[in-house]
Amino acid sequence: MNASKRALAAAVSTAALLVGLVACGGSDSSDSASSSNSAAADQAAGDTQAAEGGAQAEAEGDGGGDPVETPLTGEAKQKAEEAALAAFPGTVIKSEEDRENPGMYAVEIKKADGSEVEVYLDPKTYKVVKTKDEAGDDD
C-alpha cells in the first residue's frame, strides 16, 4: 500500500471510531454504554410522544403548547358524559380533566346541527357549571 492509501485507511478508521464513541456517549464501559443507549431510547420515545401530542393539539386547532389534559376514565367518564349529553344531546368527542378550569371536568360534544360545545362539570355533583361554544362564545 502506498502512503496516500494508508493515510486514507487511517482517516476512515479514525472517523468510524469517533462515530462509535459519540453513539455510545464516549464511554468504554459496556454498562454505561447500555444505560446510555437506554437513556437515548427513552428520550426518543419521549420525543415521539411529544410530537404526537403536538400533532393532536394542532389537529384540534389548539395552536399553543398547552399541557395535555388527562382523559376521564371509568365511572367519572360515564357520569360526566351522561350529564353533559343530558344538557346537550349529541355525540361526545372527548371528556377530560380541564386544565383551563382546574377542578372541573370538560366534555366536548358535537351537537346534531354540527356545532360543538364544551360542557364544564363539577366533578362532585356532575352538574353543568358553564359551557363554551367551540366557535368561541361563552354561554
- What was the pLDDT predicted at 1? 56
What average pLDDT score do residues 82-92 get?
A: 97
| DSSP letter, residue 119 | E
60 — pLDDT class (breaks 50, 70, 90): very low
Range with the largest mean pLDDT of 27-41, 58-72, 75-89, 122-136:
75-89
Give dist(CA 71, CA 69) in Å, integer: 6
Q: Enter the C-alpha cell of residue 51.
A: 410530537
- Would you state the torsion angle of the CA atoms of residues 80, 82, 88, 94, taken in this order, to the nearest 10 degrees? 50
4 — pLDDT class (breaks 50, 70, 90): low
The model's pLDDT over 108-119, given as tens digits with 9 standing for 90+, comes to 999 999 999 999
**pTM for the whole thing?**
0.51
Give dist(CA 93, CA 99) in Å, integer: 17
State yes or no: pLDDT of 134 exceeds 70. Answer: yes
Q: Which one, of 55, 122, 113, 54, lies nearest residue 84 by Cα? A: 122
